[in-house]
Amino acid sequence: MTRDELKIAIGIDKANCHTCTYLGSDSPGSDDPCEPSWPVCEKVDRYSNLKSFPFQKEMKCWYPDFWHTKFPERIKTMEDDEMDALSQEFYNIVAEWARYAKEVRK
C-alpha cells in the first residue's frame, strides 16, 4: 500500500503535521489553562524550533493520527464492540502501509 493509497483508505487529504500522530504541544509547565502552549514534533525535535512549524506540506516522517481520519465520524452511532472493530480496521490499514513503507526503504 502506497502512502497515497493509505490516505485514501483512511480519509486524509494531506500527510502533513496537522494530521500526524507526532504533533503535540508544550507549555511553560504551569497548570494554569491560560498559559500559552505551542506545537511540538514528538518525533523530530528540531522541527519544533522552525518558524514554519507545524508544516502544511507533506512530510516523510508523517504517521497518521486516528482522530484526523474518517473513522471518528463513524463512531457516533456505534456500540462498544463495533468501536473495537473500527479501531482495529484503522490499525490494520496503518500496519499494512508500515510494512510496505519498510520494504520500500530496503
The whole-angstrom separation of Cα 24 and Cα 81 is 29
| Prediction pTM value | 0.76
**For position 31, what pLDDT does the model report?**
72
* Domains held by the chain: number: 1
For residue 99, the enclosing domain spans: 3-105
Q: Which residues of the chain fall below pLDDT 70?
A: 30, 104-106
**For position 49, what pLDDT does the model report?**
82
Residue 23 · residue 38 · CB < 8 Å:
no
Residue 64 · residue 17 · CB < 8 Å:
no
**For position 2, what pLDDT does the model report?**
87
Q: pLDDT tens for residues 30-49?
A: 677 777 888 999 999 888 88
In terms of Cα–Cα distance, which of 87, 59, 50 is closest to 71? 87
The whole-angstrom separation of Cα 3 and Cα 20 is 13
**For position 36, what pLDDT does the model report?**
82
